[in-house]
């Protein structure tokens, strides 16, 4: 289900988010904002609101990821204070944004007939409210926003690989079998807030994951690493990324950049290594069975 959000922040923070190579938005760690940020999903529609002196909508976009936890200062006010003010973050893409020199043409709520307070950071909108903003912006800025949103949705659908390919399932099953052979309690599709880890190894049934796995052979490496980082942040689970030879370098680049906090914790391995390990463990069990050591 598509959600509709109003992203509100200072002019300085919007300039930074829109100019950066990777567009991010974040909110403070208050109980209300934390629960709202958990609801953000890939494909949600966004309206960008710049606070005073602009006090209006300067653009629109779409969410490109679910919420993840940021642990490094990113925006100007965070840099100035030297600490993270907005830990609950997500990626977004731009559908249309006014050039900075034309922010005086921002769409005010008065032009649409909206009333009420605006929560700093993130507020939910009804679909009809969002549609009214889009229609008013189309008239004021003379641009076909609805068509741009539709085109972006089609692009995102094509970019999503099969959620559970046979190859993905085969590797996850191997990870599960290796865990059981090593004496762990194995759970696949392990819940992680709104998301799910591909697999988790636990020491005891009621315990937290000791090892967290994401198997990523195509698609969104950023999302996979975000889940592994979150598993480390919440449970101190050993994060393991299983990927292909072709994607290993890209994963290491991300780890040294956006995910450097888990650089010394994350283990990156390949599908080939998992296959070798699985065959080795399977052979050991076969030999044990032949000489009855498994009964000792």
Q: Are 147 and 9 found together in one domain?
A: yes
Q: Are 148 and 214 found together in one domain?
A: no
Nearest 5°: CA angle at 84, between 80 and 89? 125
Q: Are 112 and 61 found together in one domain?
A: yes
pLDDT for 159: 67
Distance CA 244, CA 215 (A): 9
**Which residues form the domain of 175?**
166-295
Q: Are 152 and 208 found together in one domain?
A: no
Compute how many other C-beta atoms are within 10 angstroms of the C-beta atom of residue 178. Answer: 19
Q: Are 288 and 152 found together in one domain?
A: no
Q: Are 291 and 257 found together in one domain?
A: yes
- Those residues with Cβ within 8 angstroms of residue 244's Cβ, 6 or more apart along the chain or in another chain: 217, 270, 271
Say how far residue 71 (Cα) sits from the centre of its chain. Answer: 14
Q: Are 96 and 79 found together in one domain?
A: yes
Q: Are 123 and 206 found together in one domain?
A: no
- Those residues with Cβ within 8 angstroms of residue 147's Cβ, 6 or more apart along the chain or in another chain: none
Of 68-77, 121-130, 224-233, give the lowest mean pLDDT range.
68-77
CATH number of the domain enclosing 130: 3.10.590.10
The model's pLDDT over 30-70, given as tens digits with 9 standing for 90+, comes to 888 888 887 888 899 999 999 999 999 999 999 998 787 77
Statement: residue 106 has pLDDT above 90: yes
pLDDT band of 1, cuts 50, 70, 90: confident
- Domain C-terminal end among 158, 174, 209: 158
- Domain C-terminal end among 110, 137, 158: 158
Q: Are 225 and 123 found together in one domain?
A: no
> What pTM does this model have?
0.63
- Domain C-terminal end among 158, 191, 220: 158
Instruction: Give the position of tokens 């697999």.
Output: 199
Q: Please state the domain count of the chain.
A: 2
Q: Are 149 and 176 found together in one domain?
A: no
Compute how many other C-beta atoms are within 10 angstroms of the C-beta atom of residue 81. Answer: 10
């Amino acid at each position: 289900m598509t959600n509709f959000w109003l992203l509100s922040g200072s002019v300085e923070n919007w300039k930074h988010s829109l100019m950066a190579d990777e567009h991010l938005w974040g909110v403070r760690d208050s109980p209300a904002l934390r629960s709202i940020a958990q609801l953000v999903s890939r494909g949600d529609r966004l309206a960008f609101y710049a606070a005073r002196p602009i006090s209006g909508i300067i653009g629109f976009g779409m969410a490109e990821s679910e919420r993840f936890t940021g642990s490094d200062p990113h925006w100007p006010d965070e840099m100035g204070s030297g600490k993270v003010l907005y830990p609950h973050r997500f990626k977004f893409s731009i559908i249309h944004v006014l050039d900075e020199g034309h922010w005086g043409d921002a769409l005010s709520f008065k032009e649409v007939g909206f009333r009420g307070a605006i929560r700093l950071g993130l507020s939910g909108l009804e679909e009809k409210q969002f549609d009214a903003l889009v229609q008013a912006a189309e008239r004021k800025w003379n641009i076909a926003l609805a068509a741009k949103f539709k085109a972006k949705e089609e692009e995102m659908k094509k970019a999503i690989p099969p959620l559970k390919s046979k190859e993905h399932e085969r590797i996850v099953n191997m990870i599960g079998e290796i865990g059981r052979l090593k004496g762990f309690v194995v759970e696949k599709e392990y819940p992680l807030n709104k998301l799910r880890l591909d697999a988790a190894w636990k020491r005891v049934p009621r315990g937290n994951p000791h090892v967290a796995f994401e198997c990523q052979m195509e698609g969104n490496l950023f999302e996979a690493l975000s889940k592994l980082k979150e598993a480390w942040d919440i449970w101190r689970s050993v994060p393991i990324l299983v990927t292909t030879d072709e994607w290993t370098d890209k994963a290491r680049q991300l780890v040294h950049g956006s995910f450097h906090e888990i650089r010394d914790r994350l283990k990156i391995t390949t599908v080939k290594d998992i296959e070798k390990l699985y065959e080795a463990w399977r052979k050991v069990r076969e030999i044990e069975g032949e000489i009855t050591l498994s009964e000792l």
